[in-house]
């Protein structure tokens, strides 16, 4: 029914070449391979959604290029994992769309067509869903409706692209039972891709294995699951996969024998100081002569960074890599979640966008990313002597422990010992530590080799009796009491304290605090300058006291622009732009233009008028632009003419394509740029501050501020604080590396 001969597939370039396989009636042929290996590309080519690059595809002995659209639709139906969102369609109406290849010009369904629809719903046990809105049913119910639609299309061939994605165990089994019945009892020809190798082993007659370059094997499950083939295909260890069951197997840690050269820092809560401690440990190990790197399997943040390869990662791990004295690599943060709404995030894997997912769907899906996490970790392992892993939130969030990949689940994957950090500044530090330990399972408690009390103020001797009682109760030593210190590091956006109100200074910069603000660290350099205060403004009337207004990046530019208009900021920004500089970065830059169009519903669809302060128009594209940039500004007009010919360095990360192409666009007092980190290089920040001071009739002796040197001093200070307030010899013993006197 399906035959490929010397088939080449890909997008711009050929991804996989010389594909040869056959699918006969009643057969289930399944394509497997790691993420990005080309499974969907092969299926999309057979479905005529992509043009083939070479070779041939035959459907019922006819080349697909010769089949007209309606004729093809009578031969092949499909089910994908893509979330369709039709407006105001019931499930019955959704299934009925499958009958249009059989209707006349007007698309009116006959009584017979409706009977086919009802029978299809019955076959997938979905008649009770007939009158329900398709957009309001669960993911599992949606997949049943999509399968019913494929059945109602009355084709001999059904193509399914990862049909079990986002489904729980019940729905996966239910769906695959129906697919098996269609093949074995009704003689349908089934071609599909699947991630779950245990289910592939159970259902597939033939397995096609791809690796992103070629088809490496075609055979039965007995052929494919033999020896170490699967482990080699997915890049995992031999003992991480059971060939007889097709199941992945986690290597669990022993109670006391941990991996050497690794330490994991977990916290009793968010903002306990995990990022702070990890950065300090990275710098401390570096000072002792070890090559060290940070790692966080999954980070949720709107503050991201672009590596020199154009990959996107969490900025916290970039900061920690700086502390370690090495270049940031995306393998330090293989999964980045960027919230797009209160209930969903953009999922970025190995620096590239996978897709947007609701939180519930990601929770069910995330364990499929374990091979990617381990691949990134093992790559990092080859590069350094010591890895310092950061957890997320708390390991005692018992509602989230199932399928955990970032706290104790991550520690188990690599057999890492754990340090548990608590924030005494929030109060209840002993309850934090004791409660967290008690909520863990025994094997998890055994991983914790040391406790750290962070942000302590006062005389430590007053704390000592409580520490002794705590150690008696949990049988874990407190290896550090870290004093509250004024070390300034890049923070994760969800927990930053820099948004707190600051007193006025000689120069006052007002940053509009969007609800979905991102990459606010663009302005961190100004916060370190003596005569400057940076105010993150939620009240538009504060603009009147500012010397410059800054519009930062946004994860949802259209939604934040609507907020800007509704909150009263629009009027105040326009009025301010007549007298003081207004600077927009990335999303803020787009908002300053005439309009933003969203034809592909990247954010909310449609278009919105901008502030009209820059003569640019923006279109939100499907592909994200991610790249590092550097160069020199062209001639700059207006109050910031001092920036003409200045050298800049930074990175771009945006979905929008704007008509303004220069690194810095200006019109009167208004400036815009896509470059994050724009102010960090050279003398740019100092020049801006001096110019703003002159406009007020003030002369400031601002020397060029070496931002990188200042950050290095902060990392050294942090390492010094940890070394003076931790049992460093015990720390080195836990990590399994030699402690020695530090060389001067």
Q: In what order do the strands lie in the sheet with 548-551?
A: 532-537, 507-512, 548-551, 582-585, 670-673, 665-667
Which of 314, 312, 324 shows the shortest CA–CA distance to 283? 324
The residue from 209, 548, 586, 654 that is catalytic is: 586
How far is it, in rounded angstroms, from Cα 480 to Cα 658? 51
For residue 252, the 8-state DSSP code is P
List the one residue out of 391, 183, 197 whose CA is nearest residue 275. Answer: 391
* Residue 153, SS3 per DSSP: coil
- Give the whole-angstrom CA distance, residue 476 versus residue 33: 44
Active site residue 654: no
Single out the residue of 224, 198, 222, 199 nearest to residue 211, CA to CA: 224
Q: Which helix (H) or strand (E) holds 324?
A: helix 315-324
With 0-12 CB in 10 A as exposed, 13-18 as middle and 19+ as buried, what is 128? exposed
Q: What is the 3-state secondary structure (H, E, C) of 253-322?
A: CCCCCCCCCEEEEEECCCCCCHHHHHHHHHHHHHHCCCCEEEECCEEECCCEEECCCCCEEEHHHHHHHH
Q: Which two tokens stand for residue 235?
A: 């890049």
CA distances from 168 to 175, 226, 362 (A): 11, 28, 11
> What is the tally of helices (H) and strands (E) in the chain?
24, 36
Q: 10 Å Cβ neighbour count for 537?
A: 21
How far is Cα 317 from Cα 98, in angstroms, rounded to an integer? 48
Instruction: Report how far residue 258's alpha carbon sits from residue 55's, in angstroms, rounded to the nearest whole number.
Output: 52
- CB contact set of 83 (below 8 Å; sequence gap of 6+): 142
Instruction: DSSP for 361-397, please give it.
Output: HHHHHGGGGHHHHHHHHHHHHHH-SEEEEE--S-TT-
Whole-angstrom distance, CA of residue 281 vs CA of residue 271: 17
Quick one: CA dihedral 641, 646, 652, 658, positive or negative?
Answer: positive
Neighbours of 7 (CB within 10 A): 22
Scan for tokens 């397995």, then name that residue.
Answer: 207
* CA atoms of 299 and 490, how far apart (whole Å): 15
From the list 645, 648, 586, the residue with the least C-alpha distance to 618 is 586
Would you give the DSSP letter of residue 743? P
- Give 385's contacts (C-beta < 8 A, 6+ positions apart): 261, 285, 290, 291, 292, 737
Cβ proximity of 619 and 597 under 8 Å? yes
| 586 counts as catalytic | yes
Instruction: Measure the CA angle with vertex 707, ends 704 and 710; round to 5°.
Output: 110
- Rounded-to-integer distance, Cα 180 and Cα 205, Å: 10
Residue 445 neighbours by CB under 8 Å, 6+ apart:
437, 474, 476
Q: For 404, phi and psi rounded to 5 degrees?
A: -65, 135
Q: Indicate which residues carry an active-site annotation.
A: 586, 676
């Amino acid at each position: 029914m399906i035959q490929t001969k010397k088939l080449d597939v890909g997008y711009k370039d050929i991804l996989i070449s010389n594909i040869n396989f056959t699918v006969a009636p009643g057969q289930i042929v399944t394509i497997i391979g790691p993420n990005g290996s080309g499974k969907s590309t092969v299926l999309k080519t057979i479905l005529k959604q992509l043009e083939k690059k070479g070779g041939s595809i035959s459907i019922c002995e006819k080349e697909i290029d010769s089949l007209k659209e309606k004729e093809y639709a009578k031969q092949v139906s499909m089910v994908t994992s893509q979330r369709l969102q039709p407006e105001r369609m019931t499930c019955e109406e959704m299934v009925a769309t499958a009958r249009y290849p059989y209707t006349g010009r007007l698309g009116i369904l006959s009584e017979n067509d409706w009977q086919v629809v009802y029978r299809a719903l019955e076959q997938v046990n979905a008649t009770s869903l007939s009158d329900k809105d398709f957009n309001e049913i669960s993911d599992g119910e949606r997949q049943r409706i999509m399968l019913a639609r494929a059945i109602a299309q009355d084709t001999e061939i059904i193509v399914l692209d990862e049909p079990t994605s986002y489904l729980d165990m019940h729905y996966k089994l239910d769906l695959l039972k129906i697919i098996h019945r269609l093949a074995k009892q009704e003689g349908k020809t089934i071609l599909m891709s699947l991630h779950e190798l245990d289910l592939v082993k159970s259902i597939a007659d033939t397995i096609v294995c791809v690796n992103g370059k070629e088809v490496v094997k075609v055979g039965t499950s007995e052929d494919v699951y033999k020896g170490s083939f699967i482990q080699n295909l997915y890049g995992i260890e031999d003992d991480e996969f059971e060939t007889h069951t097709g199941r992945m197997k986690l290597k669990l840690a022993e109670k006391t024998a941990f991996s050497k050269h690794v330490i994991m820092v977990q916290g009793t809560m968010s903002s306990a100081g995990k990022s702070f401690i990890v950065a300090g440990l990275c710098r401390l190990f570096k000072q002792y002569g070890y090559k060290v790197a940070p790692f966080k399997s999954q980070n949720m943040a709107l503050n991201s960074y672009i590596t020199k390869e154009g990959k996107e990662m969490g900025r916290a791990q970039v900061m920690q890599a700086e502390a370690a004295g090495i270049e940031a690599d995306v393998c330090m943060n293989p999964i980045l979640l960027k919230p797009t709404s209160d209930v969903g995030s953009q999922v970025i894997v190995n620096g590239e966008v996978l897709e947007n997912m609701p939180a519930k769907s990601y929770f069910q899906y995330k364990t499929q990313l374990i091979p990617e996490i381990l691949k990134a970790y093992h790559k990092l392992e080859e590069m350094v002597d010591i890895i310092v892993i950061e957890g997320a939130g708390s390991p005692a969030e018992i509602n989230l422990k199932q399928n955990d990949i970032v706290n104790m689940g991550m520690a188990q994957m690599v057999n890492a010992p754990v340090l548990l950090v608590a924030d005494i500044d929030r109060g209840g530090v002993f309850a934090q530590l004791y409660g967290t330990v008690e909520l863990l399972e025994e094997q998890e408690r055994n991983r914790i080799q040391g406790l750290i009390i962070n942000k302590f103020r006062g005389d430590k001797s007053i704390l000592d009796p409580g520490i002794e009682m705590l150690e008696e109760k949990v049988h874990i030593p407190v290896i550090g009491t870290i004093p509250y210190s004024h070390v300034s590091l890049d923070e994760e956006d969800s927990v930053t304290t820099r948004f707190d109100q600051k007193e006025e200074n000689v120069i006052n910069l007002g940053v509009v605090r969007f609800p979905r603000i991102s990459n606010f660290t663009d302005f961190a350099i100004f916060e370190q300058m003596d005569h400057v205060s940076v105010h993150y403004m939620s009240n538009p009337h504060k603009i009147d006291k500012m010397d410059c207004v800054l519009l930062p990046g946004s994860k949802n530019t259209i939604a934040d622009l609507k907020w800007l208009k509704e909150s009263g900021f629009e009027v105040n920004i326009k009025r301010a732009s007549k007298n003081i500089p207004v600077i927009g970065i990335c999303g803020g830059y787009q908002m300053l233009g005439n309009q933003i169009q969203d034809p592909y519903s990247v954010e909310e669809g449609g278009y919105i008028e901008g502030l009209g302060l820059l003569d640019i128009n923006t279109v939100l594209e499907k592909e994200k632009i991610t790249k590092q940039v550097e160069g020199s500004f062209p001639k700059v007009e207006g109050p910031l003419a001092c920036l003409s010919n200045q050298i800049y360095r930074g990175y771009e990360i945006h979905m929008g394509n704007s008509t303004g192409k220069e690194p810095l666009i200006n019109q009167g007092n208004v400036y815009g740029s896509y470059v994050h980190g724009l102010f960090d290089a050279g003398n740019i920040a100092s020049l801006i501050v001096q110019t703003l001071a002159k406009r007020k009739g003030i002369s400031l002796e601002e020397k060029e501020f070496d931002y990188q040197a200042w950050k290095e001093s902060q990392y050294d200070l942090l390492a010094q604080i940890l070394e003076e307030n931790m049992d460093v010899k015990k720390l080195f013993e836990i990590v399994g590396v030699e402690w020695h006197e530090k060389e001067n």
